[in-house]
Every structure is written in structure tokens, then in C-alpha cells.
Amino acid sequence: MNYSMIKYTLGWLLMFMGVFFTVPLITAAIYWEPAFFSFLIMIAISVGLGLLMTLKKPKNSTLYAKEGFVIVSASWILLSLFGALAFILSGATTSFVDALFESASGFTTTGASIFGDVESLPRSVLMWRSFSHWIGGMGVLVFIMAFLPLSGGQNMHIMRAESPGPEVSKLVPRVKKTALILYVIYFMLTFIMFALLLFFDMDVFEAINTAFSTAGTGGFGFRNDSCASFTAAQQIVITVFMLLFSINFNSYYLVLRLKFKDALNSEVRAFLLIVAVAVGIITADLWINLTTEFDSVWEALRHAAFTVSSLISTTGFSTVDFNLWPALSQTMLVIVMFIGACAGSTGGGIKVSRILILFKGMSRELRTIVHPRQVKKITIDGKPVDREVTRSVNAYITTFIVVFTLSLLAISFEEKDLITNFTAVTATINNVGPGLGGVGPTSNFADFTAFSKLVFTFDMLAGRLELFPMLILFSPSTYKRT
Amino acid sequence: MDIIIVGCGKVGEVLAAELNEEGNNITVVDEVAEKVKHIATKYDIMGVIGNGATHRVQKEAGVGSADLLIAVTGSDELNLLCCLMAKKSGKCQAIARIKNPDYAKDAAYLRDELGLAMVINPEQAAAEEITRILKFPSALKVETFSRGRVELMTFRLPENSTLVGQTLRDAMIKLKSNVLVCTVERADGAHIPKGDFTFAERDIVSIIASPRSASDFLTKINYKSEPIRNVSIIGGGSITHYLCELLGKAGIKARIIEKDVEVCNELATKFGDVSVICGDPTDEDVLREERVSASDAFVALTSIDEENILLSLFAKNQGNRKVITKINRIEYDDVISKLDLDSIIYPKHLTANTIVRYVRSNQNTLGSNMVTLYNLNRGEVEVAEFSIGENSPVTGVPLSKLCFKSDVLVGAIIRGRQMIVPRGSAIILPGDSVVTVTKNLSPRDISDILDEVL
């Protein structure tokens, strides 16, 4: 284990953390809020500590897969801790566990909150919450790699550990340039969304916040009713962009290179199909069983589309309280929460590509029972899927179920109802945010005990980093010399 | 440059590592997914899985915008096909590795008629390197520029040399030799000698010269370089084939020990003046019976590295003057270098280095136009070859009028097939190659050797 290199990389992370804090700092300066000084202190602490840790460049800069995983998970824990410190210093909360939960929820783009009344929070703190979504969405270390002269192909280990999806492909030979391209696309899309929201009469502060929050598919709002009081046009813009941010960013690169056919690969098609089916079923269900709530079928469609996009992209915004929806609609919503977004996007969940591989694997198994001698390869977009990939997908699902079950058990001592507990774990491990029952869109996670909040914090981080990095960090065998 | 490398074997990996290090964008292609993944994870490069000779795969690897495709798979035919496809579909240049002597003879045709930028034959390159070592057995090191037209030779000055006690200026006038003394190393470090520099016993001297002038110079300074007259070669592979041809031209008698009767027959038919011995070279009795220890040099060229190392150690023990060992695998080179072996040949390294040199020389439109780079005196002194572009600041002006930095020496000017020993009146023209010698300065462009204040 190359500890000095891990320390060095974490040092750089802290320096960047200092840069990130300038965004709420500027906000605090504009609205002249007392939180200004707390963010100033945070910058001083993180840059100071970062400088100390990067003082000596390690002689041996070799990173293996193990170090890559440890760096990524340690970085995210460090990020969450420093983010939490900012919440405490700025006086938003006094409980450290609450602050840690909120901060991890921000960086992992979950959007689950312990604040009941967000409108009373300082604007700089609101900005920090949204901005942490934006940073966490594309990945902090990918961001650092795009701008830092960290050398060598070993960066790939870091990128692989941080990027969502079963397989990571580079767009161009160099990791650094790939990271840069991804961030440019990310930035452009965020900016377009911001401009559109401005065009539809949102004020600048709210537009920036909404754009950050949507881009990272996070879901922290700045109003107590999330997006319910937005105009229909604004809601439609948010719906479209939630979907756009849950599509693999490689597709946008291919669109820019005018390779439209390659961009619309089977994962994107499957994703859009799932969205269409879910929206269709829920609209029909709402229109038939909840007729009194909606003025027209179009309004039902609008809310269904918003909610499905919000939950499949794992953003977690809401326009209506879907806690009151019929059981069929709620079931559909829980299903799309598990499916999640495309690989290589900012969304969470299990990922459409994994579901695709799983289903193809399942149908192959069925065929081999009928025709035991048939040789059949799983292919996606005409390319055979590596055995290694199907194996890792199976391992991922198994691990997912284990972590899910243990978390559910761990929080069940509180005597809340099963729907609340089940969807609370679903919403955190898939980085969605709101669930059903006691954690529905109008409620929050404040009622849970500190222990449960720590379990959720772990779930959010594990879910964002796709389980293995967090498990490797806490596995003793990682640190054994032999 | 954007470079596609087809074939992820050892050569492919060395190429990918070195070219990536120099800032090129590398994409590797191989049919075996594991190999591609291994290299693409180890270095910061992209990998494409598939048959590199198909248009579809080449397109995926970005042949449309690539500058160069290097085909180094194990198959000659596949390599040629890769290059032809790439030539057709893109504006890129193509380099193929060709092993089979039948095709290798067509190298010139392939270059000129099929438009390949370069055809490289690792075995032939190895044979040339071995010949070079055998020609100057006592030199510490021989490196070449411009396809062997210019040599950089390092040797220790003998005690009875006529050079000892003379200044460089006097010595050059007296000897009338077409060589350039570029560095002298002694206990107090490396020097780039000026005219008033005085030679002493046991100095380690490096000279730049054409191969002929070099041997002429060595004779004149009383350098006892007892030539190798006969050599024992173990193994009858393709390197041996090329080596026999080259040794025949150099007038060195060869004796081959090979196990396989068929191969022995073929060699005996092809090279009448070579004595071919059919026997197991790993059998100590065979080696003793044939009195291998009596020959001046010993070259181990079997296909098994371990055998080569073992045989070489044996020969060294038996008192052969020069022992050359061929080693295929690149790993563990630091362990091997600690063994008591004379000269080691890595055919795969040679291939990769030749290609890297070619790539460098093709980057001259932008910034770096360095072709070759050697380190002397433990990295203190760098000897580099630059190809000179149209607008280079060093062209068209006599050397004496150019304002060089201190400890900079122009070692040679190569124009076409001719080497010019640079005097003050010499002028560098566009298209020339220039060899520079610099101390504590790492020029990456020829303009780096000029003093800023003109």
C-alpha cells in the first residue's frame, strides 16, 4: 500500500476543497451573511492542511487498483467530513451526525435532507448544498484529474473506482483529456439549463441552484415544497434536463463528433423505453384512480413525467406528494429507483447497462436449460460482453442485495413501518433522496436516530461509489502486507 | 502525434510506453482482450479489441485522424495488411515489422512502391548490432546515428598511445584524421575538450566519426584493437542467417553450433565458408570438443534466454574475449545486467528504439526535432541527433558566426550519405542532420543550443 501517495492525493483533494468553498463564500459575500466567515475559515483549514500534505511529493508514485479504490473512498469520506464541518460552523445544525448525513447526501447527489425548513437556511448554505451535488455528480477525483498534473496511466484506477457503471471507457487515449472533455460537456449542459431557467423567469440564485442540483442529479431544493411552486414551464425544463443528465456522457461526445447512431446505443434506448413505459402506466393510473387531483390528462402526464424522471435519474425533486398516489404508481416509482440512470452519467441506482446485461444473462441461462449444448454469447450493440463484465455485474447485484438487507436490518430497531424503512434504504443506497411513507417527498430523515443516520451515510457513499470502494476501504485484507 | 499500434506483444508494449512518455496519443489494437487491457491499464493510452487489419477496427481506433500506424503483430502478412489498409483509409504513415527473410528482401520495394514509411526487421537489426560490436570488440560502447553512417565510440586511452601528453589541437593536426573528439572523462568528471586540452593516460575518450575514419583513427593513436577473426555462434535461427551474411562481408570467420540437422544442412548450403557443426550446444562435451573457448568471440543466439545466459557465462569462464548474449524477454533486465556478461542484445528493444527514433524525426515540424539521444558519462553529457527544418535558426550561417552556449559542441553534420566533420567555416543547410554534444543541458530542439543573446 503506497500510503505516501494516498496522503499526497488526499492533500490535493483538500486544496481543491478550498477552491470549492469559494462558491458559497462568494454567495455569502453577495448577500452579506455571517456564514461568510465560517466559509473563510473552512478555506483556510482545507488549503492549509492540503499544503501540509502535499509538501513532499512522494518518490514512488505507483498506484495499483487497491490504492485507487482506497484513494477514492477515503477522498469521499474526507469530502463529507469537511462539508459537514462547514454546516456546523455556519450554524445550520449543531449535531455532527446530522451535518455528516447532509454533507454526504450532497456529495453523493442523494438529496436526502435532515432539514425540515430549508427556507430558513442562509443562502450561502443553500448554495453549498447544491454546489456539492454538482461536484459530486461527475466525481471529484475526475475533476482533480482534469486539472492536476498527476501523471501516469495509473489514474485509470482512480477513474474506474469513481465512475459509475460496469465498464469505463475512455473517449481519447489520455485519462486527463477524457476527464476534461467530460467536464466541458457537463459544464455546457449545466449552463444551457441555467440559461433556459432564466428565460422561463426564474431568478438568478434559484436558477443556479436548480441547475447545479439537477446536473448532479442531486435533489436538494431551496423551497420547502421542492419544485411544486415552480411554473409548469420551469418544471418541464427540469424534467428534460433530469433525463439528459442521466444519459451516458460518452453519448454526448459521440453526438458532438456527429456519430448519432453510436450515441443512441442500446443502453440509452433501453433507458428511454423504461421512462416511456413508466410514465405511460403512471399517467393512466393517476388519471383513472386519482381523477380529482388533476385538471386534465396533460397535467397528470406532466407530474408523472416529472416524478419518473426525478426518481429514475435519482434526482429526487418533487412537484406533488407521490406518497398519496395509488399503489401501482408507487410500485413503478420504487422499481425505477432501483433501475437508476445510465452508466457514465451523474445519476445513481443499479444502472441500466447492468440491468441489460443481467436480463441478457438470464435469457441465456433459460436457453441453455432448453438447449444444453447451445453456445451463446451475450452481446450489447453487437459486441460480445466480456465474461469478466458479466461476472462483475453478478457480483455487484449480490453485494447490493447483501448491503441492502443488512442496512435494512440495522435501521429496523426503531419500530418504524416497513415501507418507511425499506424506501429509506432504497432512497439512500440508490442516491435518490425521498422515499415513501415516513421519508416521502414532504418529510425528511430528521426523525431517525444517529446510528441509523450513520448507516444511511454509509449507504449513500457506498451507493455512489458502487459498493466495492467502500467495502475495500473497510476490509482488513486491504491493509495486510502479504 | 496520434499513433495506432497494432499488436500488443513485447515490442508493442515498449513502443506504447516510450511513445506515450514522449507525449504522443497512443491507441493500441489487439485481438486478445487481456493483452489490450493489461497495456491500457498500465499506461495512459486507449485500447481497441479486434483484428487490426480490418477497416472497422481501424476506424474505431481513429485511423482517420491518426498520423502513424505501427504494425508489430507476430505475423508478417497481418502487419503488411494492416499497413495497406491504413494507407488506403487514412492520411497516416505506416510502419511494419517484417520477420521473414523472404519479405525482408523486398523491404525497398515495400517502402517505395507500397508507400510504407519503414519496414523493420528485428532479427536483421540484431545481426547488424552484433556485427558492430564484433568489429570494435574493445570499445566500451558503440552507438550509431543516421543508420550507421556516423558512429559514437567510447574507449579507454591505452598507456602507450601517441595521444597522451598532447593537446587536442596538435593531435588533430598531426593525425590528419576525420574524427571529432567529443568528450573526455577522467576522475574529475566529464569534459568537452577545447583545443588546448591535454590528453592523459587512461582517459575515457568518446569520438564521433564515420566507421572508416574511426578505425583509421584508432590505428593511428596506437590503440591495440585486436580484431575478432573468428566467432562461435550458438543456434541457427534467423539472426544467425543475417549475421553470417554480414560477417562474411566483414571478413570474420564464423562457426555455428546447431542441434537441428535440417537447419544445419540449410546453413551449410547457403554459406559455404561457414563451418556448421551439428550437435547439442547445451552439452558441455560438445563445446569442449569443438574448442569453443579458442575462438575470439562467442555469440549465444538460441531461442531460450536461460540457455543463452548459461552458455555465455560458460564461455566467459572459458576465456573467450568477447561474449554476446541475445535475450528475448525484456523483464528482469536489471538482474541480468548484474551478471558477468559482456554485451547483451535485446532484439525487441532494438526494434522499438528504431521505431521511436523514426517517430521523433517525424515530429520536426513542431518543436522537438530530436531524432536520437544517447547519454554519455552517466548522463552528464548528452549526444543528440537533430534533423534540421526549413526555418531553423542555425541554417545558412557558418558555425563560427553562430553563438553557442558554453559546453556545446556540434559533433557532426550529415548531409545525404556523407558525414561532414564540422569546422568553423561549415554551414548547416535545411535537411541536414546535426549531432550535438552538450553537457548539463538537455536540448530538445536545435535552437536550444544557441545562446539567447545573439
Query: Could you give the percent of chain B with pLDDT greater than 90?
Result: 12
Tell whether B225 is covered by a domain: no
Both B191 and B239 in one domain: the answer is: no
Helix axes A3-31, A65-89, angle to 10 degrees: 30
Pull the grid cell for residue B64.
482517420
Which of B2, B44, B46, B63 to substitute to test the interface with A, most A CBs within 10 Å?
B44
Q: Summarize pLDDT for B92-103 with one digit per residue, the tens.
A: 888 998 888 778
Distance from CA of A17 to the nearest CA of B (A): 26
Q: What is the pLDDT of residue B367?
A: 46
CATH number at residue B112: 3.40.50.720
Question: Which structural domain range is residue B331 located in?
Answer: 230-351
**Interchain contact, B27 vs A176, CB within 8 Å:** no
What distance in Å separates the CA atoms of residue A458 and residue A461, rounded to the nearest whole number? Answer: 5
Vertex B450: Cα angle to B445 and B453 (nearest 5): 135
Chain B residue with the nearest C-alpha to that of A65:
B41
B34 close to A (CB below 8 A): no
Region B403-422 average pLDDT = 83
Residue B420's CB: how many other CB atoms inside 10 A?
15
**Interchain contact, B25 vs A172, CB within 8 Å:** yes
Both B90 and B148 in one domain: the answer is: no
Both B10 and B82 in one domain: the answer is: yes
- Tell me which residue in B33, B40, B45 faces A386 most closely, judged by beta carbons: B33
Total structural domains within chain B = 4
Tell whether B189 is covered by a domain: yes
Tell whether B103 is covered by a domain: yes
Q: Summarize pLDDT for B42-68 with one digit per residue, the tens.
A: 888 888 888 988 988 898 888 888 888
Region B380-390 average pLDDT = 80
Burial of B338 (0-12, 13-18, 19+ CB in 10 A): exposed
Both B137 and B88 in one domain: the answer is: no
A173 close to B (CB below 8 A): yes
Tell whether B203 is covered by a domain: yes
Name the average pLDDT for chain B: 83
**Interchain contact, B40 vs A153, CB within 8 Å:** yes
Both B59 and B138 in one domain: the answer is: no
Tell whether B376 is covered by a domain: yes
What distance in Å separates the CA atoms of residue A271 and residue A134, rounded to the nearest whole number? Answer: 22
Domain end point (choices B98, B120, B142): B120
A341 vs B409 pLDDT, higher one: A341
Both B10 and B112 in one domain: the answer is: yes
Both B99 and B115 in one domain: the answer is: yes
B114 close to A (CB below 8 A): no
Pull the grid cell for residue A134.
454538482
**Interchain contact, A174 vs B44, CB within 8 Å:** yes
Region B361-372 average pLDDT = 60
**Start-to-end Cα distance in chain A:** 10
Domain end point (choices B186, B220, B254): B220
- Tell me which residue in A153, A157, A174 faces B25 most closely, judged by beta carbons: A174
Both B329 and B304 in one domain: the answer is: yes
Both B337 and B244 in one domain: the answer is: yes
**Does the pLDDT value for residue B228 go beyond 90?**
no
Tell whether B308 is covered by a domain: yes
Both B194 and B238 in one domain: the answer is: no
Chain B residue with the nearest C-alpha to that of A171:
B46
Inter-residue contact B20 to B45 (CB < 8 Å): yes
CATH number at residue B196: 3.30.70.1450
Q: What is the pLDDT of residue B301?
A: 92
DSSP state of A474: T
- Tell me which residue in A153, A157, A172 faces B43 most closely, judged by beta carbons: A153
* Buried residues in B142-175 as b, exposed as e (16+ CB within 10 A): bbbbbeebbbbbbbbbbeebebbebbbeebbeeb
| Tens digit of each residue's pLDDT, chain A (482 residues) | 788 888 888 998 999 999 999 999 999 999 998 889 999 999 999 999 999 998 888 877 777 778 888 888 999 999 999 999 999 998 888 899 999 999 999 999 998 989 888 888 999 999 999 999 999 988 888 777 777 666 555 667 777 777 776 776 777 877 788 888 888 999 999 999 999 999 999 999 999 999 999 999 988 988 888 888 899 999 999 999 999 999 999 899 989 888 888 888 899 999 999 999 999 999 999 998 888 888 888 999 999 999 999 999 999 999 999 999 999 999 999 999 999 999 888 888 999 999 999 999 999 889 989 998 888 888 888 888 878 888 889 999 999 999 999 999 999 998 889 999 999 999 999 999 899 988 988 888 988 999 999 999 999 999 998 888 888 888 888 888 76
Inter-residue contact A145 to A176 (CB < 8 Å): yes
Number of A:B CB contacts under 8 A? 30
Q: Which position has the grid cell 469521499?
A: A76
Both B441 and B390 in one domain: the answer is: yes
**Does the pLDDT value for residue B315 go beyond 60?**
yes
Q: What is the pLDDT of residue B364?
A: 52
DSSP state of B6: E
pTM (two decimals): 0.78
**pLDDT class for B366, splitting at 50, 70, 90?**
very low
Helix (H, G, I), strand (E, B) or coil at A47: helix
Q: What is the pLDDT of residue B368?
A: 47
**Does the pLDDT value for residue B119 go beyond 80?**
yes
Give Cα B368 distance to the centre of its chain: 20
**Interchain contact, B44 vs A386, CB within 8 Å:** no
Instruction: List helix spans (H) across A340-444.
Output: 352-370, 387-411, 418-429
**ipTM of this model?**
0.71
**Among A413, A399, A475, A463, CA closest to A433:** A463
Tell whether B375 is covered by a domain: yes
Tell whether B200 is covered by a domain: yes
Domain end point (choices B188, B220, B252): B220
What distance in Å separates the CA atoms of residue A202 and residue A227, rounded to the nearest whole number? Answer: 12
Both B93 and B150 in one domain: the answer is: no
Q: Which residues in chain A have their CB less than 8 angstroms from residue B33's CB? A: 386
Inter-residue contact A461 to A76 (CB < 8 Å): yes
**Among B17, B22, B69, B66, CA closest to B39:** B17
**Does the pLDDT value for residue B454 go beyond 70?**
no
**Start-to-end Cα distance in chain B:** 33
